[in-house]
Structure 1
Amino acid sequence: MPRLYDWLQATWYGERGGGWLRPCGVVFGLVSRWRRRAYQRGWLPAWRSSRTVVVVGNLTVGGTGKTPAVLWLAAELQARGWRVGIVTRGYRGTLRTAHRVTARHTAAESGDEAVLLWRRLQVPVAVGRDRCAAVRLLEADCDLIISDDGLQHFALWRDFEIALVDGSRGLGNGRCLPAGPLREPAGRLHEVDAVIVHGGDFAWPAALHMTLVPQAFVALADGQRRPPAAFAGRRALAVAAIGHPARFFRMLRQLGLEPREVPLPDHASITAATLRREPGLPLLMTEKDAVKCAAAARADAWYLEVAAEFSGEVAGLLARIEDAARRRAAGG
């Protein structure tokens, strides 16, 4: 699997061949375009919630920073008086039915992102492979529901769409799966309501730009907080099971660390063997990884807490979302 993953990354984002996959990518793009049109025209049924639904997703396979963006957006809308809820698929969670996350749910049951969102925000969070079923669980307590991912889940009607793009990798070679990293043709970016570019230099008209800023290292054992520069000049074992581990390792180097990198597939479990590696070095990980292994972590394990900062028409984005919510509340 690692070799296949490396080959695909080189094909999608580098100069390596893969031309024989192009016909498959063309077919995938045509099917995805037809499928979206079928939902738009009513040939396939899309369920519409009684509440405002905002989808935060992406066109590419892999991480683009959706969860930090959802954390920021939910906090901003909550501060403006909206009763905000979040739905997520609960990737790799063992619970098969849609459910609301509570203090008793673990990352193994509900998925790492769902548990992280609930712990950070303390807003209603529902998990379900069927996003419509998850949204139904929140309608009584929320007037605005954010879907973490799900841009291609057209069975859920949405009032507002936000697409994130990894600014350092862009849209890769611009081809659809399996020839490239795209879940839909690149032109889909012209159809969403807002585009957020995460880091890098990818250019898109009127896009907002997001940067993740380190806030603190937090001890898994007792919640002790240290400033981002606390480990500067030191070596550390760095573990990341996220969509783009290189971004986390790069951030650690920017903080002055020398990380011994352990990249893992997105949402992968952190095994006991991994936790025991390099006992003489501090163990550093992302917050998303921390929710999966807090109970088994060693005393010198820390996660890096980050916050999203934005530039561009932030006020305009929030105003447009609020306008959509008011129209829905008025029966629009």
Structure 2
Amino acid sequence: MSLRLSTVILPVRRWHEGGRDQWSRAERLGFHTAYTYDHLSWRTFRDGPWFGAVPTLTAAAAATERVRLGTLVTSPNFRHPVTLAKELVTLDDVSGGRVTLGIGAGGNGFDATVLGQESWTPRERADRFGEFVPLLDRLLTEGAVSHSGTFYSAEEARNLPGCVQRPRLPFAIAATGPRGMRLAARHGQAWVTTGDPKLFENGTPAQSLEALRGQIDRLEKAVVEVGRDSEPVEKILLTGFTPERSTLLESVDAFVDFAGRHQALGFTELVIHAPIPDSDFAADEAVFERIATEALAQLDA
């Protein structure tokens, strides 16, 4: 299966001060999808500008024509399936059916407590995620949905006329544990990973590859367990969190080497961060653009 190259644009720039230009550039450079993070604030960017994901993607939909758009990833930390579904149907309509929802269980960051609640335990996050995804699936495919669950409820929630994409916009589900893998196998058109976080600081590229191979094996076992016999689950790697993160965008050759090794594992899409000066995602803009326009051709040569 051919490899796709996508980018993620963090929502840190005002729309009329370079924000719009980044999304237009992503389309011009030929990226398959341009994603953004769906947080209320995030890590070292907490004390600087950070804009909302859905309004940003809606503006990006109006500023582009071909590139797909999406979140990487949305989580239940501050979202409810009913209101999220309404926003997604609207975004899919504005974009003409170019939206992918990246979605995960969330973590312990600022989003987890910003609404005043205690941070959920890993088990509670998994429990909520396990209810959130199937309900969101229904909300995006059925005309009227009622649901009374442990964490979420809906009373005749309507999302007419539904998504432009049928039966609904695709889900890219972030998961590493068995419950999340089964959700990805059952409801996902794609699966997302950033690699093994335990290897972030001191791991080696070889160890990272082995960990990713193990994740893919568990995903494929989950596909068998849920009895999925439809289209295969696409495999997306959000780069920048593996041991190669400091050299990944140093040159086209370095990226092609990385891409080839991960394509061989079975990944069908790699996502690279658009450069942000003076941050963990600082990179040479010229090299970034060359990777976007040259890397896949070199990989196929």
Q: TM-score, length-normalised on structure 1?
A: 0.26
Larger Rg: 1
> Larger RCO: Structure 1 or Structure 2 (Cα < 8 Å, ≥ 6 residues apart)?
1
Higher strand share: 1
Higher helix share: 2
